[in-house]
Amino acid sequence: MPDETAPSTETQLTGHACIQSYLNRLDSSPGVYRMLDAQARVLYVGKARNLRARVASYARPTGHSGRIARMIAATASMMFLTTRTETEALLLEQNLIKQLKPKYNVLLRDDKSFPNILVAKDHAFPQIKKHRGAKTEKGTYFGPFASAGAVNRTLNQLQKAFLLRNCSDAMYESRTRPCLLYQIRRCSGPCVGHIGAEAYGEAVRDAERFLSGRSTRVQEDLAAQMAEASEAMEFERAAALRDRIRALTQVQTAQGINPRGVAEADVIALHMEGGQACVQVFFIRAGQNWGNRDFYPRVGPDVAPAEVMEAFLGQFYDNKEPPRQLILSDAIENADLMTEALSGKAGRKVSILVPQKGEKAELVSGALRNARESLARRLSESATQARLLEGLAEAFGLEAPPQRIEVYDNSHIQGSAAVGAMIVAGPEGFVKSAYRKFNIRGEELTPGDDFGMMKEVLGRRFARLAREDPDRDKGHWPDLLLIDGGAGQVGAVTRIMAEQGIEGIPVVGVAKGIDRDAGKEEFHRPGTRPFALRHNDPVLYFVQRLRDEAHRFAIGSHRARRAKAVGATPLDEVPGVGATRKRALLAHFGSAKAVSRANLADLKAVEGISDSLAETIYDFFHDRG
């Protein structure tokens, strides 16, 4: 286990003198060091092959870049963790950077999992669907795809080509006649017996072959079947096969140019300009381009490309499985360490390449062009966003342009499946990683009580803020609250904040105004008369976008909660009853209500239900009274 050296509490030294004071206590072990300021906030996390040598380099008074010099000057203490190997130090460093988000490190922001396509294998007629997160479900995964949109487009065409079902198991079991997807030829109707298990299984295998990169063989087989159907004058079947071939062609067209000599890789290109950086990642799997994403790591004006690229790789693959090849635009300093770390994580060889010619270099060139164009757009948008925030501060009488705006909205149908939503915006636009949804839990609320819902949402929000950031120094507290509503809602929010002892956060209510028309919004602030902005004011359009985004997120969260509730049954709450046993019970009895009324002997007769589980199910329903 690593050893930890805590900062000394005896010295009040800062800067070079503080760092120098640690040298006598360090040896040449590999490890990770942390630099902290006078308030014990972490300024920087770094790794070293030799801790003593690395710390000695910071103790020198000259030869540092401006960023490092400022960091050294603010250092009041240090912490150290020794490790067995430098590779272990590299992994620990990146974990700590993601966890602590130090001011002077290169930091990857908005890092999240990427969606995959899952062909589920826990059912006789497998479902094809989008999947994000841990790969815990039984089945075959294909990905990652760059975005949910890329997955949805691919799934849409795969449904046309292979007619696989995408409905949930609960919906599948409840069907008595085919759904609309069958009518429009997007599903083969296995739920009502319109296709047998063998034929459906062959369609599943074709889909898996296509997603694995063997698309030519699949299309050749379909073309042969189409010709055979045409020869036999089965023109309707031939037309259906033609449509399936066309759907597969559309998938390939949407993927753009697929590389000939690269089967599995991430192409990663970095462009830096104006103290900002853009990293463009192209995902190539099974010889197919499955989309690209851009990232904007936090960097300083004097950070080298090698440092940015290495930090990106370490943080990006911290929670993702790396492909067999990483094709980079810029070399990194510790390529051997990174290769060893990623290979150990993947359980197989991972290669890091910086190509100079050939197809791989062309792939990097294309990614680099995208990175350059994306950063140019972002710089332009940032300048526009800064002007809008200044205009917002002027319009609402704020002391300074807000760095964090929180916008709240509710969504429900007559009080059912009620959800509160919070979106966040700032100098860089919408901060989607900070969005939050609140499932309304208040049992005393009457249906449609928007005031009560808002009280619960804000109460939970501010209680958590007070718990997690009591000193308001982590950037989590809002500089402005926007509420959907007029004077009544603003007054209610003000009272909620007063009850929790929260002061200094401006609140503005956005009311629809005359005839509820966009452009006629009225703005309400505590203690002032309502006012409006000019109908062509850019700030008004900005507020409308904020409100619309909150409304979109609230409705989406509400629909997701409602959809989850639709497929739910009382069987979901029975201990020991998972998806397979739930299907067996529903198939045997026909409905959850029939299960709840069944006697013990009938429950024991169900295949896969043991005597003890049958007793558990019987007791569950009969003890509820």
Q: Which of 50-59, 292-301, 429-438, 582-591 is least confident?
A: 582-591
- Segment 137-150 shows an average pLDDT of 85
Q: Which pLDDT score is estimated for 507?
A: 93
DSSP state letter for 572: G
**Which residue in the block uniquely carries the two structure tokens 């040896």?**
27
More confident residue, 134 or 479: 479
Cβ(585)–Cβ(571) under 8 Å?
yes
List, by residue range, all CATH 3.40.1440.10 domains of the chain. 3-100
State which H helix or E strand residue 66 sits in.
helix 66-74
Task: For the domain made up of 405-565, give the CATH fold.
Answer: Nucleotidyltransferase; domain 5 (3.30.420)
Model confidence pLDDT, tens digit, residues 279-316: 999 999 888 888 888 999 988 778 899 999 999 999 99
Residues of the chain with pLDDT > 70, as a percent, come to 89
Smallest Cα–Cα separation from 569: which of 600, 590, 593? Answer: 593
Helices (H) and strands (E) in the chain, counts: 20, 19
Mean pLDDT, the chain, rounded, equals 84
Burial classification of residue 468, based on how many CB atoms lie within 10 Å of its CB (0-12 exposed, 13-18 middle, 19 or more buried): exposed
Q: Which pLDDT score is estimated for 624?
A: 44
pLDDT surpasses 70 at 6 = no
pLDDT surpasses 60 at 5 = no
pLDDT surpasses 90 at 44 = yes
Q: Which pLDDT score is estimated for 566?
A: 57
Residues of the chain with pLDDT > 90, as a percent, come to 32
pLDDT surpasses 80 at 515 = no
Q: Which pLDDT score is estimated for 76?
A: 93
- The pTM of this model reads 0.70
Smallest Cα–Cα separation from 21: which of 10, 31, 30, 34? Answer: 10
Q: Which pLDDT score is estimated for 623?
A: 61
Task: For the domain made up of 570-622, give the CATH fold.
Answer: DNA polymerase; domain 1 (1.10.150)
- Segment 335-339 shows an average pLDDT of 93
DSSP string, 411-433: EEETTEEEEEEEEEEETTEE-GG
**Which residue in the block uniquely carries the two structure tokens 């100098």?**
427
Q: Which pLDDT score is estimated for 29?
A: 92
List, by residue range, all CATH 1.10.150.20 domains of the chain. 570-622
Binning pLDDT at 50, 70 and 90, where does residue 416 land? low
Q: Which pLDDT score is estimated for 310?
A: 94
Binning pLDDT at 50, 70 and 90, where does residue 186 land? confident
What's the CATH superfamily of 3-100?
A: GIY-YIG endonuclease (3.40.1440.10)
Q: Which pLDDT score is estimated for 216?
A: 61
Packing angle of the helix pair 335-346, 305-316 (nearest 10 deg): 10
More confident residue, 625 or 52: 52
- Residues near 437 by Cβ (< 8 Å), separated by ≥ 6? 419, 420, 421, 422, 553, 554, 557
pLDDT surpasses 50 at 7 = no
pLDDT surpasses 80 at 241 = no
Burial classification of residue 503, based on how many CB atoms lie within 10 Å of its CB (0-12 exposed, 13-18 middle, 19 or more buried): exposed
- Residues near 408 by Cβ (< 8 Å), separated by ≥ 6? 420, 421, 422, 454, 457, 458, 481, 482, 483, 484, 550
- Segment 377-406 shows an average pLDDT of 90
382-386, 399-403, 444-448, 591-595 — which one is most confidently predicted on average? 399-403
- Segment 345-357 shows an average pLDDT of 93
Q: Which pLDDT score is estimated for 625?
A: 40
Model confidence pLDDT, tens digit, residues 150-164: 888 888 878 887 889
- Segment 436-440 shows an average pLDDT of 86
Q: Which of 32-36, 75-79, 450-454 is least confident?
A: 450-454
Cβ(144)–Cβ(602) under 8 Å?
no
Model confidence pLDDT, tens digit, residues 533-577: 888 889 999 999 999 999 899 888 877 777 666 556 677 778 788
List, by residue range, all CATH 3.30.420.340 domains of the chain. 405-565
- Segment 88-103 shows an average pLDDT of 90
Q: Rounded to an integer, what distance in angstroms lies between the CA atom of residue 328 and that of residue 107?
A: 18
Q: Which pLDDT score is estimated for 414?
A: 56
Q: Rounded to an integer, what distance in angstroms lies between the CA atom of residue 328 and that of residue 309?
A: 8
pLDDT surpasses 90 at 330 = yes
- Segment 587-616 shows an average pLDDT of 85
- Segment 442-452 shows an average pLDDT of 67
pLDDT surpasses 70 at 86 = yes
More confident residue, 218 or 174: 174
Token pair recorded at residue 518: 């966009």
Q: Rounded to an integer, what distance in angstroms lies between the CA atom of residue 201 and that of residue 194?
A: 14
Q: Where are the alpha helices (DSSP H) in 163-214?
A: 169-174, 180-183, 197-211
Where do the DSSP E strands lie in 244-304? 265-273, 276-285, 288-295
Q: Which pLDDT score is estimated for 58?
A: 93
Handedness of CA 118, 353, 319, 273 (dihedral sign): negative
Q: Rounded to an integer, what distance in angstroms lies between the CA atom of residue 406 and that of residue 546?
A: 9
Backbone φ and ψ for 217, nearest 5 degrees, come out as: -65, -40
